[in-house]
Chain A
Amino acid sequence: MSSVKVDTLTGKTTAKTVNVTVGASVTQSLEQGLAKAFGSFAQNAYPDTGYTQDFAGETFNFSSITDISSGLINSAIINNTSATTYSAGCHTCYFGSTGTSNEMDGVYAKTTGGWKMSNTYANGSVRDANYTGILLHGSLA
């Protein structure tokens, strides 16, 4: 096995551009493919997982993930994005009296410093989810 020992990878021509071979011959920018933030959050306790109410699990590049109100979450990131056109994905899970269901997650109020998420169920009302997984892809400032 070969190993490269470095603290920082920096592109020779452009600092953030280090290409990686990701297919048989296709190369891709390492920076563009990396998640710039990830996190998980429970507005309600998540049974058997250790998630308590309003608990943020493991996170990366989030300064905070907080409960705004029923079904609504605010996130703030440490290193801002360069624009608001980043790709922010989130998925939620809800445990109800009739079992587990996927809710209809929505991302809104995007800024370079974070965004808000909603957890909506079938009739259009929001409610607290037991789990929300969050991913950010795009360029940082």
Chain B
Amino acid sequence: MAGKIIADQIEHSTAGSLDTQYVVNGSAKAWVHFDAHGDAAVSGTPISRDSLNVSTIGDDGTGDYTVNFGSNFANGFYASSGTGDHAQYMFCVDPSINPTSSAFAMMFSYQPGAGSDIDIDNVSTIHIGELA
């Protein structure tokens, strides 16, 4: 490591100051972009295109995926958001699998039936919370 600064606040000469707690707590701890449909190399199996702190993406069935984190969260109560490119299908937390410190399960469902999920491309998820 080249060096380390321990500080409670960062101050810019003109733009103001920021408590470093906002840097730590406000930064996304994990995010990913993956494709699971329509690409020549993809056939329902999610492939990560770019990510931060995501080790693997599990294929839980059509339209259902699990993001596995490289470094675990402190608990399962982090905040998550996501979207995909098929406008008729909604991103949601998999109701049968609670988020854990190490993984987040999602599904893309067509309202109102959860039984008609579909594989999606251009999936983006973002996870913000405290790491262990």
Contact = CB atoms under 8 A, between A and B. Distances in A.
Given A122-B111, A124-B88, A4 B27 contact: no
A19 B3 CA distance: 10
B114 interface: no
A12 B74 CA distance: 30
Contacts of B68: none
A119 B23 CA distance: 32
Kindly name the residue among A33, A86, A91 whose own CB sees the greatest number of chain B CB atoms within 10 A. Answer: A33
Interface string B78-89: 000111111111
Contacts of B90: 102, 104
A41 to B, nearest CB: 15
A24 B130 CA distance: 9
A126 B87 CA distance: 9
B112 interface: yes
A97 interface: no
Size category of the binding interface on chain A: 35 or more
Q: Which of B8, B83, B125 has the most CB of A within 10 A?
A: B83
A90 B54 CA distance: 20
A89 B83 contact: yes
A22 B28 CA distance: 10
A9 B4 CA distance: 12
Contact of A89 (B12, B13, B126): B126
Interface in B1-50: 1-3, 5-14, 17, 23-24, 27-29, 31-33, 49-50
Interface of A: 1-7, 9, 11-13, 19-24, 26, 28-30, 32-35, 83, 85-91, 102, 104-108, 110, 118-120, 122, 124, 126, 135, 137-139
Closest 5 CB pairs of A and B: A33-B27, A23-B131, A106-B87, A85-B49, A120-B87
